[in-house]
Amino acid sequence: MQLTETHRPTLDQALEAIRTRAYWSPHPEHPKAYGESAPADGLAAFEALRGSRFDLDQPGTDGWTGGEVSPYGPELGIEYPHPDLDVLLPAMRAGMGAWREAGPETRALVCLEILARISARTHEFAHAVMHTSGQAFLMAFQAGGPHAQDRGLEAVAYAYAEQTRTPSAAVDWSKPQGKRDPLELRKTFTTAGRGIALVIGCNTFPTWNGYPGLFASLATGNPVLVKPHPRAVLPLALTVKVAREVLTEAGFDPNLVCLAAENPGEGIAKTLATRPEIKIIDYTGSTAFGDWLETNARQAQVYTEKAGVNTVVVDSTDDYKGMLSNLAFSLSLYSGQMCTTPQNVLIPRDGITTESGPKSYDEVAADLAAAVGGLLGDDARANALLGALVNPDVKARLDAASELGEVALESREVTNPDFPGATVRTPVIVKLDGARKYWDSTDSEPAYLSECFGPVSFVVAVDSTADALELLRRTVREKGAMTVGAYTTSEETERAIEDVCLEESAQLSLNLTGGVYVNQTAAFSDFHGSGGNPAANAALCDGAFVSNRFRVVEVRRQA
């Protein structure tokens, strides 16, 4: 393979992008950019996988397992290899020496080839993501395709930059000794992976949340075992397959990337997480299991993204309509099933100021409800935005939410003509009282202080903007947050919100009224999470995300 000629320019552009944080992506967002036959080819490739055995030719396969059912209804009927870990894990370590010797640049370029081949099959991946996550097609295409590939490439760029901070080649070190001869040594520095890295995938964003850890670990010299969510195996199985093909063609051991599909109820993640061979774990999912991993997987570096409670503070705006439509989109996209979707919209009880005069709390709540209702009034647009509920737990939470308070906007059932089996629901908006006496209470915690994952939002009446900031601070500190949004025309308030976010380590979007939404981040420029509050112990992507996935081993010799 002509890895350098093909991919070095892309790597250099990625390195430049993470340095400048300007907009950049080599992966087109538009489905038409992939060629005329790509849509049909991608669909056909996906359909061909259904009802088949997905063989990866991995060592130590002791059975077959599967059972994915699309949130849109159909069973996928795909079987994946089930691993005998006592055979698979040693086999994965076998190729580590050659992978280490390849060095950071070759490892990066091999990763870029994997990503390039995934990119070429973006339409196929889009169907795989859609029918495991329940995302609508275009979102599955973009978030599961180019945006996920961007995050993978970003991790490769960080990994390359971090590993090459220290020169690998021999360094001639000479220390003057006055009139005596200098002390002289020859030194080499080798980046060495830590051991097998485990990626524990999630249901909602199998590729987007899986790629950063996968590529960061692989690029830093570690074999990677991918343990997908049992309901979202296919996108990561496809990824593993592509990786194994590229590794083989590049002359490396394909077992550097393997899949660990599990039998129903097996809980293989827990078994794997404490195996001594596993030295790195990337996890996206519930706080309970994330905390379990951090407590118990002590032999590993553990990177977790867990639950959080995302807040939007509404103080004032000079574009009331823009604010409402921006928020309505954020609450609706993928039925609020994003870790970045706002949950609590804090509004002063006495209302807010806007360019068209003051608006009371009730008016803002009603206008936001109307904006969401309007956005999703048309079923075709609603389906294109909402996708399907990913699992019955989300629907149960949605059903329960309307009991929590006065409902500003009822959830509505939407029929998907293409997939009658899909469960599609518009968001519910519930009004809650956020008076300080409630959230200061030691008796019981208000509902809005827990994550209610799915299409559920709370418009919370607070006594003042100052109280909103204190509630924001408490929420981020105790519950964590992937995102914070705020609307204000006051410089002083803006500064106060920034201070809370700086002090509590939360990523802030201010006064978004156009086509950028608080729940979306752009790789190479925006950080996803901060790593500094309970929602996640790592950010995508920064130096800390990659720097402890390898160690630098020095050998020094008498010169």
Q: Contact residues for a second copy (CB under 8 A)?
A: 18-23, 30, 97, 100, 161-162, 165-167, 171-178, 183, 185, 187, 189-190, 192, 194, 294-295, 298, 498-499, 501-503, 505-516, 522, 525-527, 530-532, 539, 542-544, 547-548, 551-558
Provide, rounded to whole angstroms, the least separation between the CB of residue 488 and a second copy.
11
- Is the separation of the CB atoms in 428 and 398 below 8 Å? yes
Say which residues have a Cβ less than 8 Å from residue 79's Cβ, sequence separation at least 6.
Answer: 52, 53, 54, 64, 65, 66
528 secondary structure, DSSP code: B
Provide, rounded to whole angstroms, the least separation between the CB of residue 471 and a second copy.
19
Q: For a second copy, give the closer residue by CB, 259 or 300.
A: 300
- What CA–CA distance (Å, rounded) separates 75 from 58? 25
Give the CA distances from residue 436 to residues 27, 283, 446, 494, in Å, rounded to whole numbers and listed in that order. Answer: 47, 35, 11, 21
255: three-class secondary structure by DSSP: helix
- What CA–CA distance (Å, rounded) separates 84 from 102? 28
- What CA–CA distance (Å, rounded) separates 163 from 182? 30
Provide, rounded to whole angstroms, the least separation between the CB of residue 168 and a second copy.
10
361 secondary structure, DSSP code: H
Tracing tokens 């989300």 back to the chain, one arrives at: 394
- What CA–CA distance (Å, rounded) separates 367 from 360? 10
Q: For a second copy, give the closer residue by CB, 239 or 530.
A: 530
Provide, rounded to whole angstroms, the least separation between the CB of residue 44 and a second copy.
28
Q: For a second copy, give the closer residue by CB, 440 or 499.
A: 499
Provide, rounded to whole angstroms, the least separation between the CB of residue 301 and a second copy.
9
- Cα-flanking dihedrals φ and ψ of residue 113, to 5°? -65, -40
- What CA–CA distance (Å, rounded) separates 538 from 552? 21
Q: For a second copy, give the closer residue by CB, 343 or 511.
A: 511
Provide, rounded to whole angstroms, the least separation between the CB of residue 543 and a second copy.
4
Provide, rounded to whole angstroms, the least separation between the CB of residue 446 and a second copy.
22
Antiparallel, parallel or unpaired: β 79-83 and 413-414: unpaired
- Is the separation of the CB atoms in 277 and 195 below 8 Å? yes
- What CA–CA distance (Å, rounded) separates 54 from 317? 53
468: three-class secondary structure by DSSP: helix
Is the Cα dihedral 284, 290, 293, 298 positive or negative?
positive
For 62, how many CA atoms within 13 A lie in the half-sphere containing its CB?
10
Q: For a second copy, give the closer residue by CB, 19 or 53.
A: 19
Tracing tokens 């752009």 back to the chain, one arrives at: 522
Q: For a second copy, give the closer residue by CB, 2 or 295.
A: 295
Give the CA distances from residue 502 to residues 303, 354, 477, 495, 530, in Å, rounded to whole numbers and listed in that order. Answer: 21, 27, 12, 10, 10
Q: For a second copy, give the closer residue by CB, 93 or 395.
A: 93
- Can you list the positions of beta strands (E) in 123-264? 171-177, 180-193, 196-200, 224-227, 257-259
Q: For a second copy, give the closer residue by CB, 61 or 190.
A: 190
Q: Which helix (H) or strand (E) holds 158?
A: helix 146-163
Nearest CA to 115 among 266, 10, 264, 263? 10
Is there a cis peptide before residue 541, judged by omega within 30 degrees of 0?
Answer: yes
Provide, rounded to whole angstroms, the least separation between the CB of residue 382 and a second copy.
23
Provide, rounded to whole angstroms, the least separation between the CB of residue 556 and a second copy.
5
Q: For a second copy, give the closer residue by CB, 188 or 271.
A: 188
Instruction: State the angle between helix axes of 96-120 and 234-249 in degrees (0 to 180), rounded to the nearest 10.
Output: 120
Q: For a second copy, give the closer residue by CB, 209 or 317.
A: 317
Provide, rounded to whole angstroms, the least separation between the CB of residue 503 and a second copy.
7
- What CA–CA distance (Å, rounded) separates 370 from 185? 73
The angle formed by the CA atoms of residues 125, 131 and 133, to the nearest 5 degrees, is 90
Provide, rounded to whole angstroms, the least separation between the CB of residue 19 and a second copy.
7
- Cα-flanking dihedrals φ and ψ of residue 120, to 5°? -65, -20
Q: For a second copy, give the closer residue by CB, 396 or 555.
A: 555
Provide, rounded to whole angstroms, the least separation between the CB of residue 137 and a second copy.
19
Q: For a second copy, give the closer residue by CB, 233 or 523.
A: 523
Provide, rounded to whole angstroms, the least separation between the CB of residue 188 and a second copy.
9
Q: For a second copy, give the closer residue by CB, 436 or 556.
A: 556
